Amino acid sequence: MSEFKNIGLIGRTESVNAVTSLTRLMKFLEREGYSVVLEEEIAGAVRHSARVSAKEKLGELCDLVIVVGGDGSLLAAARALAKFSVPLLGINRGRLGFLTDITPDEVEQKVGDVLAGKYMAESRFLLDMSVTRSGKPVGKGTALNDVVLHPGEFIRMIEFDLYIDGQFVYTQRSDGLIISTPTGSTAYALSGGGPIMHPKLDAIVLVPLNPHTLSSRPIVVEGSSEFKIIVGEYNTTKPYVTCDGHEQIITKPGDVIRIHKKPHRLTLVHPLEHNFYEICRSKLGWAE
C-alpha cells in the first residue's frame, strides 16, 4: 500500500498546458483511488469534486504535494510548505525545469512509480531573511534559491558592509549581492558568474553583482554561516532585497539584513533515474 494517500495539487492557472496536465493528473489519481486536495487558486480552473484548500494548509492535509508548472511554481510551494515537512514532486510545465523533472507525457508512469514507492528523496535547505531598521523589524522572507540585494528601480551602484559569523568581510560597491543555496546555484547565481554546487552540499555561495573592484569574486562558505549586511549610509538609491525574486523589501541606508539557514528543510521527490549531472547536461547544453 502506498505511503502517500492524500495528494495535494498545485499548478499555474495562467498556463493552458499546466491546467491540461493538472486535469489529466487529477483524473489519474482519482482513478487509482487516491484522495486529491486542490490548492484553492487552481480549483476554479479545473472541473472537479475534490477537496479544496489554501496552499499553506496543504502541508497539514497531505502526504505528498505535486506541483505542475515551472521551477517558479515549485519555489513558491517550497516557501509555503517547508515548515510542514510534506514532500514535493514536480511536473515540468515551465522552461528549464531543474526542480520539476517529470515531463507532461510521462505523468501516469512516473507519478505511478513514485506512489508505488519507486522514488528517491532529496533534502534541500532554505534561507531565512530579515530586515531591521533602528533595531525594529521591517520585513522578512524565505528563499529556496537565493536572497538578492540589488539597486531596485534604478541601475546605480550601491554600497554595503558584509559580515559572516560576526567577522567583517568587506565594504563593497557593486550592483548588489546574491546569497545562494546549492539549489539556487544553477539559477541567478550562475548568471552572475557563481559556481554550480551539487544539491547535497551544505554550503552557501555569495556572488557579487558587477563589483567595482575586479578582485571581488564569489565566496563559498559553510551552510551554517550567518550573514549580516549593513546598507551603506551614503547610497543615493534605496536597495531592494528579494527572496527567490518574489518577496521584496525596500531598504534604507543603515538597515541591517540578516540571513541564515532555515531550521525546516524541504524534501524533493524524484523518479529513481533522477541524475543531477544529466539535468545539467541537458538544461545547460553541456552535451552540445
- Asked whether residue 152 falls in the same domain as residue 113, the answer is no
pLDDT of residue 288: 60
- Kindly report which listed range (72-81, 86-95, 119-128, 134-143) carries the lowest average pLDDT score: 86-95
- Asked whether residue 89 falls in the same domain as residue 70, the answer is yes
- Asked whether residue 84 falls in the same domain as residue 146, the answer is no
3-state secondary structure the chain: CCCCCEEEEEECCCCHHHHHHHHHHHHHHHHCCCEEEEEHHHHCCCCCCCEEECHHHHHHHCCEEEEEECHHHHHHHHHHHHHHCCCEEEEECCCCCCCCCECHHHHHHHHHHHHCCCEEEEEEEEEEEEEEECCEEEEEEEECCEEEEECCCCCCCEEEEEEECCEEEEEEEECEEEEECCHHHHCHHHHCCCCCCCCCCCEEEEEEECCCCCCCCCEEEECCCCEEEEECCCCCCCCEEEECCCEEEECCCCCEEEEEEEEEEEEEEEECCCCHHHHHHHHHCCCC
Domain that holds residue 189: 126-263
If you average pLDDT over each of 25-34, 72-81, 126-135, which comes out highest? 126-135
Domain boundary among 56, 82, 117: 117
CATH of the domain at 69: 3.40.50.10330
255 a catalytic residue: no
pLDDT of residue 1: 55
- Asked whether residue 137 falls in the same domain as residue 79, the answer is no
Is residue 16 in some structural domain?
Answer: yes
pLDDT digits (tens, 9 = 90+) for 62-83: 999 999 988 889 999 999 999 9
Q: How many structural domains does the chain have? A: 2
pLDDT of residue 152: 84
pTM beyond 0.95: the answer is no
Mean of per-residue pLDDT scores for the chain: 91
- Asked whether residue 239 falls in the same domain as residue 157, the answer is yes
Which one of 71, 101, 146, 255 is the catalytic residue?
71
pLDDT digits (tens, 9 = 90+) for 170-205: 999 999 999 999 999 999 999 999 999 999 999 999
Is residue 280 in some structural domain?
Answer: no
